[in-house]
Amino acid sequence: MNQKCTKYEALFTFANDETLKEHVQNCEDCKKEQDLMDRVSEILSEVKPYYKAKRRNMLKLKAACVVSVLLFSSATLGLINFNTDISDTIKYGSTLSAEDFGFPVDSYGLLMVE
């Protein structure tokens, strides 16, 4: 029985190109592996333009989402800023208590239960 050569992966990963080319020329098993890798590279180069187009579309979609969020937030903040009814009731750091909601409270500010 003839054992299959298993050096291709190690040479492809760790060796330089000259060493790999020399071994591929001398070894039939590794030559088959190299042919397979070349076919995979051809397929990837064939698909590359479609992948880049898809990625560009995704970037456009992300940019559109960011712009829409910025427009929505600026419109909302502008509405709150210029509408005095809303800005008088909502202030930074102010909290509403039970008394503000109209519930009966005792002298400690807790809900009064009768």
User: How is residue 84 written in tokens?
Assistant: 């005095």
* Phi, psi (rounded to 5 degrees) for 93: 90, -10
| pLDDT score for 84 | 62
DSSP sequence for 31-84: HHHHHHHHHHHHHHHHHHHHHHHHHHHHHHHHHHHHHHHHHHHHHHHHHHHH-H
Q: How far apart are CA 42 and CA 26, in angstroms?
A: 24
Q: How far apart are CA 3 and CA 24, in angstroms?
A: 16
- pTM of model > 0.75: no
| pLDDT score for 85 | 64
| pLDDT score for 108 | 83
Map residue 105 onto helix, strand or coil. strand
C-beta of residue 16 within 8 angstroms of C-beta of residue 22: no
Q: How many CB atoms lie within 10 A of CB 98?
A: 13
| pLDDT score for 1 | 45
| pLDDT score for 72 | 93
Q: How many CB atoms lie within 10 A of CB 107?
A: 6
Per-residue pLDDT of the chain (114 residues; tens, 9 = 90+): 468 888 888 888 898 889 989 999 999 989 999 999 999 999 989 888 887 777 888 889 999 999 999 999 988 887 766 766 655 566 665 677 777 778 888 888 888 887
| pLDDT score for 87 | 54
